[in-house]
Each structure stands twice: as structure tokens, then as C-alpha cells.
Structure 1
Amino acid sequence: AALDDTPANRKKVKQILERIEAEITVGTFEYARYFPGSSNVEKFRAEVATTGEVLETPLFSEFAQTWFDEMRIQWRKTHIDTVRLTLDKYLLPNFGDQQVGRIKKADILGFRSTLAKVSGRKEESLSATRINHIMTPLRMILNEAANRYEFTSPYHGIKSLKVPRTDVEPFTLDEVKSIIDTVRPDYRAYFIVRFFTGLRTSEVHGLQWQCVDFERRQILVRNAWVKGELVYTKNDGSFRTVDLSEMVCNALREQHKVTGQHPFVFCSRDGAPLNPNNVTYRVWHPLLKHLGLRRRRPYQTRHTAATLWLAAGESPEWIARQMGHTTTEMLFRVYSRYVPNLTRQDGSAMERLLRSSFGQDGGPQVVGESAAPASGSQVEVSDER
């Protein structure tokens, strides 16, 4: 019978709910005991009374394949490959021969604990981020199965592992100037674009000349080069227009003299986009070592752009649009200690800062094709997005 809406009855219902959740956790929940008048009771008659297991459901391997086939239409190819690898390498070997409805919370937690003991490519244990990525398809599969076969998902109440925050390590303007002045000439335009537009690695490598508007001094960020494939940007916020300083425009004009006959702005002799591994290990890291600078990922050029804009006094809203952030929340959360008085809003403050440091036109030397990174590198690292 329905209970009156009173504080005492609310407390009673809350206690019942907590008891149900506790029984689900330990695998002793009996549907009929709590909902004897429900039309679903008969569906659970196949339940094994001694174990509290639910009705017959498909094997995890069968349902996972169904789920994968239904979901892949909304994923890009790189994500399809990632999920397929996760299924084949981790989830199917551990859960494949179990019924989805009989997987317990303890099974999930036990599986996750074993992942912490697995070694990755560098013989190091898997990071919390990697483990969370492996667990995500498992959560989605079990939750979907629970909805379809009317049982409570065993993933209920399991939270993702806490991921340590990665420190932002931007370069100072003096360090940026030293890098641009010292880098081999055929990469000067490349790094000017990276340091002063905030583009991601994949966005720089996927940049095509048709998306460079010299008249309006803008880059239209529409695509990214990921694992050897040109794909759409990672999300709607990344689909954006980036305003260019005069220095960046001049660098791109010089670059156009060299690669303008190819679709991609930064490419090898045959017109293919640059290999990010080659850039990192053959140009970037040796350059930092030569200059005596701390070894950092090339992605720090994006963080550097944000901090230099903030130091120049640009508007947070303008910076967020440049970076592809939908709000300024992430800007303040990540770069809060770099925020001075914010007064400008149109890029002009950054323009003055660059001119004072690099000269009136800020133009780089002509970028030559001859020093393009060699092809055929077998080093495999994840793409920086």
C-alpha cells in the first residue's frame, strides 16, 4: 500500500532502499520479497534461490558483440578500434563465458584490482586513467544489459578511480623565443603556430590549407590527424575558428611557399602529414635537451599559448574560444595561478607582446622541405589530442 508523504515514512523508505542496495552488493537480493505484487515476479522464477542469481541472460560475449555492433555507428574509427581492443584483450577473456545477469559487483571490483597489476608497454603498471578507460565499456555493457533484461546493474555504486592531476608546465616567453630562434628552420613555422594558436597536436598535423584564411587572419579548425587518419575534431567545442596574430600569419605565408602545393600545411616531401612520433623524438626532445630545458610533451605548447594569452591580459572568454573550450571554467581551473588582470578581449594585447619580443613583423625564416622528418619510424605512442 502507498504510504503517506511524511518525514517518518520517508525515513522508512530510505532505510528499505539502503537495505536493497546492500543486498544487491552482496548478491542476496530477492525481487519477489520486496515487490510481491509486481508483474515482473514471474520473470524471476528462473532465479536460483540458493545463490540469489537472476533469470537466464545471454553470455557476456554475446551481448557485448550486440552492444558493440549497435554502438559503432556513432563512433569514429579510432574509437571503434580502441573499444574493440579493450573487449578482445581485457573484457572478453575475463567475462566472456559468464551470463551478463550473473556478474556480481565483487567480480567487477576483482577484475579492476587485477588491472592494477598488469604491465603496460613500458613495463609499468597501468595508470588510473588507462584502467578507467578499460572499465568504461564494461560499465556501459552491464548497464545496457540491466535495462534490457530488467535486473539491477552490478556496476551500481562503483566509481572511477581517482586520477592524479597533471601539472601544467608551460614555457615562459623567453623560453619560447629561445626555442623558435634555435629550432631548425624547416620547423620554425610549425612551432610558431603551435605556441601561438593553442592547437592540439592532432589539429596542427591535420591542418589543411583550405582551412587557413589569410584575408581574415583565421584558422578554421575542422579536422584532426589521428593514428594515420583524418577525422573530425574531438567534440563540438573543438570545431572552432582561431584568430591569428601577425606573427603567425607571416609564418604561415612562408610555409605556403614550401608546402602550398600539398593539401596539408605541415607535411613531408610526399605531402603526407607529419608523423607526431618523428617530431617528438627527432626534433622536439633533442631541441629541449640542447637548450637545457626540462623535457616536456609537445602538448605543453598548447598550455603555453593559454598562459601567454592570460599574461598578456586577454579576455577569458576569447581565450576559451581560441582553445575550443565551451566555457571559461576549465580555463580558470587549469591556469588559475597564471591569471593577472584581464582587460583585453580581442587578441591585440597578445599582438603587442609578440611584437615587443620578436620584432615588428615576427616573420620566421623560410621553411624548407629538405629537413622533413624521415618516414618509417616504428615508435608507437598515443596521439596527443
Structure 2
Amino acid sequence: MAENETKKRVLIVTRWFPSRSAPGTGIFVFRDVVAIASKYDVTVVHLGEPHLFESDLDNELTWAKFKVIRVPVAFASGYKSAFAARKIIAQQLHQADLLQTITVGAVTPLIGMRVRVPWVHTEHWSAMLRPPHGTLREKSIIRLLRAQLLRADAVVAVSSYLGEAIQKYSRKPVRVIGNQVTMPDTVYADTPWDFGMIRMLGVSNLTASKHPELAVCAVAQLAERGYDARLRWAGSGSMHKKLVTLAAKLGVADRVEFLGQLDAAQLAVEYNRANIFVLPTEFETFGIALAEAAVAGLPVVTGDTGAFVEFLDPASTEFVPVAEYYQNRIAAAVGGLLSRTNLPTRAQIAARARARFDESDRVGKYFELYDGLLAARKNRARR
């Protein structure tokens, strides 16, 4: 960019973004914004659930490289309140050179709104993988939102697994640009594993589709087999009380700890102290926690469905068929890792995983996409 050239202005509209109330929500979106803001003048409009902003609007997080506008939107109320954001988005669009929406819910205020700038949509949402569900009204809303993707000039999916599913909602080929995977600073010793204590780590929201209860049960089953097994789980959610009760019922309350939402530095500590990563998820459109466990050099126990199958190394991963989750397979999979005589060392797992995630190439794909659309718009204006 020439010294006197003004940065192009990018408006990012997203449903997911970190706040003081929920620092871990949308961390992958935050990382993309930081990368995009290294080249463009970025404003973020965060359409978040009102409860996430309870302490944020008067005590806002600030970033030097970009601006964030919080707009409380109660999506559960039939998406009506999302239209209150239309005025703010319209004002910001008037000043923008390019629009970037992230997840299909973020396009709600744009229904019926004319977008005069190039529009890129990035999709993460797992619901795009399955037919609309819920009430007739909810199904209709989801179909309407999906149809809006036909309006975007380019659609990006965070994995080919998700991209194949949403291709039907785009007139042009869906591009695949993965999430950023944070590389730890730690240099791991190339030494054999010591599983005298099995220090399992799980990272995700405490929700049904992640099946944290199976990890708790695995601790009890491993303890019954004579292993000194422990579990620490980073994340929060509606299942917390149920899981605490389950751990007590199984007699492993002293072996299971729920850590709540952790920031990046705290997560790095947890990855370093663990020696096995466990996430019995039903599926993932990418699987950042799984990727970060791998670059931290951890053997992994997880399901067999999702984008992560593309990047996790079978040499250090036990892929459990999701259909067999409730057949005591999580504990058996942990045992399978322990019994592998050729399990790569932590240093080897980390090195192989890090080679799969090139951040400069990933960000470069966004820059190439943005610049191409901006140049095409400029050429059209000259005609």
C-alpha cells in the first residue's frame, strides 16, 4: 500500500464475538478480525444476545486496531429484534468499501436491504449441515436466511466438510478458508510419554452435542481399571450442574474439575499440563480446540465425524464412531492410546500438526479475495 493511500474500509457483521461477559465466544471470529485489520480499516457490528452485554455496554473492551459496535439482538424472539440493527448497519455500510458477514444469523438485518458494496460471507454454523428443524416458523426463518447467501458475491466455508453442504446456497463455488490455529510458544521435549497419571483435558461448551458426560464417565471407568485418571474441562454451559452431580454420583468428584471460560493464555497452560485431549463431539465444522490440542502435541480421543478428520493425525488420534459413544468407547479409546507402542512423542505430534496450519497462507486468501472484489468493483465504476 502506498504511504498516502487510504485503507479500504471493511464492515464485519457477526453474531459471535468476545465480550467481557463471554470472553471465549467467537474467539475464532476475533482472530480473523485481528488479521483483517492488519491491512484494512475494520469496524465490527456484533449482533449479540442481550444477556452477553449485561456488563459490556458500560465497560466495553477496546482494541487499538478496530472498532466494535455492540447491538443487542434477542434472536430467540423470532428474529424480529434483529431488524432494530438495520439502521446501524445501513449507516456503517454507507461508509464501507466491503461487507463481511460471519455466520448466517448475521445476515438477518440485511434481508430486503440493498447492499451496494462487495459482500463476502463466511460460514461456521453447524446447523448448515442439516435440514431446518424446529417449528414451522423457525424452519421458514432458517430457509430465508440461507437464501440470503445467494446475494453474497463470495461465500467462504471454514472447511471442505462444511463447504460441500452449503454449496447449494451460493451461485459461485464456495471457497474454503480455515480458522486460525494458535501456535503455542512452548518447545516440547522429544521424550517418551509418562501416563502414570492420565491428565485429560476437554475444551468446549458444556452442551449436549459435545457429550462432556462421556468424558466424566470415562474417568470413572478408567479409575475402576486401576488408572489414575483426571479430567479438567474448559468451557461453560447448561449442563454444568448436571455434570457436577454425575461426577459425584460416579465417585470421581475429586478427579473432575470444570474450569469455566478461559482466555487464550489460560488455555495454553491447560494444554501444556494435559497429556490426552478428549472431546466426544457429534461433529464439528472445523474443530479449533482439536486443532489446538494437536499443535500442543496432545494425543486426541474424539468422534469420527467432522472437518477435524481431515487434519488430525491417525497416528496420535483415536476416532470413535459417534454411533458407538455410549458403549463405553471413550474410556476404551483412551486405553487404546496408552497401549500404542508407536505413539508419537509430544514433540512429533506438535511438529506434524503445526505443518498443517500456515497462517500467512490462510490470511493471504482473505486478502486476495477482498482485493479481487474491490478491484472488480473499481473497474465496473470506470465503465
Task: Flag the structure with higher strand content.
Answer: 2
Give the structure-2-normalised TM-score: 0.29
Q: TM-score, normalised by structure 1?
A: 0.28
The structure having more radius of gyration, on CA atoms, is 1
Which one has a larger percent helix, Structure 1 or Structure 2? 1
